[in-house]
A = this chain, B = another copy of it.
Amino acid sequence: MSTKIITVSREFGSGGRTIGKEAAQRLGVPYYDKELVKQVALESGFDPKFIEEHGEFAPGKSRFAYAFLNSTFPGTINNLSAADFLWTIQYKVIRELAEQGPCVIVGRCADYILRDRSDCLHTFIHADMDFRSDRIVRLYGESEASPEKRLMDKDAKRRVNYRHYTDREWGMAQNYHLTLNSGVLGIERCVQLLVELAQQG
């Protein structure tokens, strides 16, 4: 395997984003998370016509509430919900970013979107509830009232979203080349493992 692209899926609060960002920095490659991918998509000037021409990427209509793109593109677009519209754009953007060269991509089902490429290292970062609860309270200023509920809600949303768009189970080891418990192994060691595997690849 020659690794050029690392994808990082993660449980909320596990430090997956931090691990991906730090690994990208040490490897000297671009880092993209879902916000950056969204921004790139919008700045790229994609419009509904583009989506019409690339409808084969659309995985079907979402049953979920119309998402944050609604403010930009109200209602449905070529019978796609806003969530599906965004998925379609991001699918295309992630494919194109991968074509540009080595990078780290966090989130957005990138492991699935790039599953046919042989130059990727697909990873999943998770941790126990205590580790994640402590982390989101400490770093994100989340309410201490029920960080566990917040974690379970976020995990559930990611699980449902992943299943909807990929028809696979979120967190199944078989979807990834490497999965790590960041709470047990430590954030720093997880970064090192990603960097070593990418460099040796």
A1 touches B185 (CB 8 A): yes
- Taking CB atoms, residues of chain B closer than 8 Å to A11 are 174
B1 touches A173 (CB 8 A): no
How many copies of this protein are present in the complex? 2
| Interface: A157 (CB within 8 A) | no
| Interface: A180 (CB within 8 A) | yes
User: Which residues of A in the span 7-24 have a Cβ within 8 Å of any Cβ on B?
Assistant: 11
B177 touches A180 (CB 8 A): yes
Residue in chain B with minimal CB distance to A127: B174
- Taking CB atoms, residues of chain B closer than 8 Å to A165 are none
| Interface: A77 (CB within 8 A) | no
| Interface: A184 (CB within 8 A) | yes
User: Which residues of A in the span 93-141 have a Cβ within 8 Å of any Cβ on B?
Assistant: 124, 126
Residues of A contacting B: mostly: mixed
CA separation between A180 and B122, bound complex, in Å? 10
| Interface: A67 (CB within 8 A) | no
- Taking CB atoms, residues of chain B closer than 8 Å to A163 are none
- Taking CB atoms, residues of chain B closer than 8 Å to A124 are 173
- Taking CB atoms, residues of chain B closer than 8 Å to A174 are 11, 126, 171, 181
Partner pick for A179 among B173, B185, B193, B200, CB 8 A cutoff:
B173
- Taking CB atoms, residues of chain B closer than 8 Å to A126 are 173-174
> What 0/1 pattern do residues 157 to 201 of A give for CB contact below 8 A with B?
000000000000001111011111100111001000100010010
- 4 more contacts with CB within 8 A, not counting A1-B184, A172-B173, A173-B173, are A126-B173, A171-B174, A177-B184, A177-B185
A-B residue pairs in contact (CB < 8 Å), sample of 20? A1-B184, A1-B185, A1-B186, A124-B173, A126-B173, A126-B174, A171-B172, A171-B173, A171-B174, A172-B172, A173-B176, A173-B179, A176-B181, A177-B180, A177-B181, A177-B184, A178-B179, A179-B179, A185-B197, A189-B197
